[in-house]
Chains A and B, each alone.
Chain A
Amino acid sequence: MANYLLGRIAQSLLLLLLVSMIGFSLLHFAPGGPLAQFANTPGVSQEALQQIAKQMGLDRPLPVQYAEWLRRLLTGDWGNSYRDGQPVLSVIGSHLGATLELMLTSTTIAVVLGTWIGVLGAMRRYSLADYAATIGAMVALSLPTFWFGLVMIYVFSVRLRWLPAGNIATPGDGSFLDLLWHLIAPSIVLALVTVATWSRYMRASMLEVINQDYVRTARAKGLLGFRVLVHHILRNALLPMITVAGLQIPTLLGGALVTETVFTWPGMGRLFLDSLSYRDYPVVMGLLMFSACMVLLGSFIADVLYGIADPRVRMK
């Protein structure tokens, strides 16, 4: 386990380094480069621009600039927003909560619903419900999330008037129920893709396990169907799902961006789009790096959890 962990940490750090190189390249090879903001500001002369470039250290060789950039990244100095001069990390921090709230809710929905659909599909293989779930999952993965959001708003907000059309809460109303009420539609929209993916993987994983010899052993012991399902089949079928969960994070983050836009949800995704529109590159870069770190962290945690959950890895 210790070796496994160390190897995994080394691997994550290497990836982080590569990720930072990609981020740095994007920043530098973008049209206008790091100076884009100043170049677009009227009244800044060519000399002033050069002055700024020198101040920012842009005249130094690229590797030196990269090292300096990386050093500041690691020490938590991610620069300041062009818009309001706030440090990038605190800008991100102030939007993180809303996104996490959305992601956690929809992940919970997706895991419960997806597991249920997957288990049912595997137990009643080739039944009508199984076909329906298969086709449904395919369609869910094919429809644009934002459009599904629009349809939800149209049906439940415009027509039925059951749900709010957006926002995280009604201004002035801080109640938990109000929060929940606002959370329903966006978290369902964000959960859609994950439900589809999760149920497919779950079904496949169940089918893998269902015919294993040890399941027959469990039945031969006289255990009842439910105990066999939960203790012997699910316990094994859920193992690879830990890895699947880790791999869902990029999808979830991307989905959150779109969902937040549709539902005017004040999270990281909205922040990203707004920053792009303002050409607020420090925040854009910060969010890009931050989301990549979340992805890396997610898959790292998933691997660690897998190691804990599977005695064959844990005992090594």
Chain B
Amino acid sequence: MSADILRVENLGVKFGGVPVIQDVSFSLRAGETLAIVGESGSGKSVTALALMRLLGDPRMSSTTGRALLDDGGREVDLLTLPERAMASLRGRSMGMIFQEPMTSLNPVHTVGDQISESLIRHEKLSARAAAARAVELLGQVGIPEPERRFASYPHQLSGGMRQRAMIAIALACRPRILIADEPTTALDVTIQAQILDLLRSLQRDSGMSMIFITHSLGVVAEIADRLMVMYAGQVVEEGPVATLLHSPRMPYTDGLLQSVPRLSAALDSRRRLTSIPGQVPAPRSRPAGCVFHPRCRYALAEPCERVRPALEAIAPDHHVRCARWRELSA
């Protein structure tokens, strides 16, 4: 088993005093893909932005815990690093791509310039060398006629092409970690598959680790090694993808799996698609006890409504936050 490249311990984020994510702990190994799954409002994106320190105005948000990155043999805490040092990590050791390819690129600069910018900043390349490298990168992310596209503006590209350009920007300096925040959600299905393929092959070539945020379990099965399920700002289950998809221990994970439409199920009229009733509570109105209990069909007055369960290791590589996992798996 390879070493951890990133270890997140008890990460918490508050917006204006209200906890948005709490007690998030996980680790990421070199070369692996960790998928973070959850409904909107579960805190997946906040987790990612907190690691990149891109949460915006520091007067509005506060972060607690540790996020230890192995930055080429040197261990740094992403959460306490001075802003200047953090800025030199961003784009160099950690790259990030976002959900909206239509708005994530600057409309007034050419795609090529936006890639070169990163290379000039971190690798101290000359403008000419950076441009040559940018053209190369455009080719690597599968953009046809990269020399011509180098001079294109974002509005001249399709959504899929823009997302490829975003990937080129994020990977320009060969980061050790790529954080992809729902990179395929805004794209057509066929384009989605192409982008996933691209990310997989780029990962294979570079050996980077990837944190892949999505709300689609179908995507998870395709791309991830491990899966972390988040609910209402907490990690509720975490483990190898195969284990979680086949024998989930947390009722929420199970519920998510039940609500995935499958072709076979659709053809078989006896199996009905079930959805989890209710919705994710807002950060201000999270319930006492287990945060999931109001929507959980296995919830009991005792202990679920009173005691907040801890994240428990039920196997060396499998963690669950549920007071009743033993009874339920029996």
Binding site for B on A (CB under 8 A): 212-214, 216-224, 227, 231-232, 235-236, 239, 309-312, 315
Q: B155: which of A223, A239, A312 is its contact (CB, 8 Å)?
A: A312
Residues on the B chain within 8 Å of A239, using CB: 108
Q: Mark the stretch among B88-96, B195-203, B297-305 that contacts chain A.
A: B88-96
Q: What 4 pairs across the A-B complex have the smallest Cβ distances? A: A222-B91, A222-B90, A221-B91, A213-B103
User: Which of A214, A227, A235, A236 has the most chain B CB atoms inside 10 A of its CB?
Assistant: A214
How far apart are the CA atoms of A219 and B53 in the complex, in Å? 9
- B141-164 toward A: CB 8 Å interface, digit per residue (1/0)? 000000000000101100000000
How far apart are the CA atoms of A239 and B54 in the complex, in Å? 26
Cross-chain contact A311 with B87 (CB below 8 angstroms)? no
Cross-chain contact B169 with A213 (CB below 8 angstroms)? no
Q: Does B220 contact A (CB under 8 A)?
A: no
Cβ contacts A to B, 12 pairs, < 8 Å = A214-B105, A214-B106, A217-B114, A220-B52, A220-B96, A221-B169, A222-B89, A236-B106, A310-B107, A310-B108, A311-B110, A312-B153
Q: Mark the stretch among B117-125, B274-282, B306-314, B315-323 that contacts chain A.
A: B117-125
Cross-chain contact A221 with B103 (CB below 8 angstroms)? no
How far apart are the CA atoms of A311 and B168 in the complex, in Å? 21
Residues on the A chain within 8 Å of B96, using CB: 220
Residues on the B chain within 8 Å of A219, using CB: 54, 87, 90
Cross-chain contact A217 with B166 (CB below 8 angstroms)? yes
Residues on the B chain within 8 Å of A212, using CB: 103
- B102-116 toward A: CB 8 Å interface, digit per residue (1/0)? 011111111000100
Residues on the A chain within 8 Å of B100, using CB: 213
How far apart are the CA atoms of A219 and B98 in the complex, in Å? 12
A-B contact count (CB 8 A): 80
**A222-B54 CB under 8 A given contacts A213-B100, A311-B108, A311-B153:** no
Cross-chain contact A223 with B117 (CB below 8 angstroms)? yes
Cross-chain contact B90 with A214 (CB below 8 angstroms)? no
Cross-chain contact B84 with A217 (CB below 8 angstroms)? no
**A315-B107 CB under 8 A given contacts A213-B100, A217-B166, A222-B87:** no
A312 (CB) vs chain B CBs: closest residue:
B155
Q: Which of the four size classes fits the interface of chain B?
A: 20 to 34
B83 (CB) vs chain A CBs: closest residue:
A225
How far apart are the CA atoms of A224 and B103 in the complex, in Å? 21
Cross-chain contact B107 with A222 (CB below 8 angstroms)? no
How far apart are the CA atoms of A217 and B100 in the complex, in Å? 11
With A217-B169, A223-B91 given, name 14 new contacts (CB 8 A). Answer: A214-B105, A214-B106, A216-B98, A220-B52, A220-B90, A221-B121, A221-B169, A222-B91, A222-B122, A224-B84, A227-B121, A310-B107, A311-B153, A315-B153
Q: A221: which of B90, B108, B155 is its contact (CB, 8 Å)?
A: B90
Residues on the B chain within 8 Å of A227, using CB: 121
How far apart are the CA atoms of A212 and B88 in the complex, in Å? 22
A236 (CB) vs chain B CBs: closest residue:
B108
Minimum CB–CB distance for A223 against chain B, Å:
6
Minimum CB–CB distance for B211 against chain A, Å:
13
Minimum CB–CB distance for B99 against chain A, Å:
9
Cross-chain contact B106 with A232 (CB below 8 angstroms)? yes
How far apart are the CA atoms of A315 and B52 in the complex, in Å? 35
A216 (CB) vs chain B CBs: closest residue:
B54
How far apart are the CA atoms of A68 and B61 in the complex, in Å? 71
Cross-chain contact B104 with A213 (CB below 8 angstroms)? yes
Residues on the A chain within 8 Å of B250, using CB: none
How far apart are the CA atoms of A133 and B108 in the complex, in Å? 29
Minimum CB–CB distance for B167 against chain A, Å:
12
Minimum CB–CB distance for A310 against chain B, Å:
7
Cross-chain contact B117 with A221 (CB below 8 angstroms)? yes
How far apart are the CA atoms of A20 and B329 in the complex, in Å? 87
Cross-chain contact A214 with B103 (CB below 8 angstroms)? yes
A220 (CB) vs chain B CBs: closest residue:
B96
Residues on the B chain within 8 Å of A218, using CB: 106, 117
Residues on the B chain within 8 Å of A216, using CB: 54, 98, 104
Cross-chain contact B95 with A220 (CB below 8 angstroms)? yes
Cross-chain contact B90 with A315 (CB below 8 angstroms)? no
A311 (CB) vs chain B CBs: closest residue:
B153
Q: Does B79 contact A (CB under 8 A)?
A: no
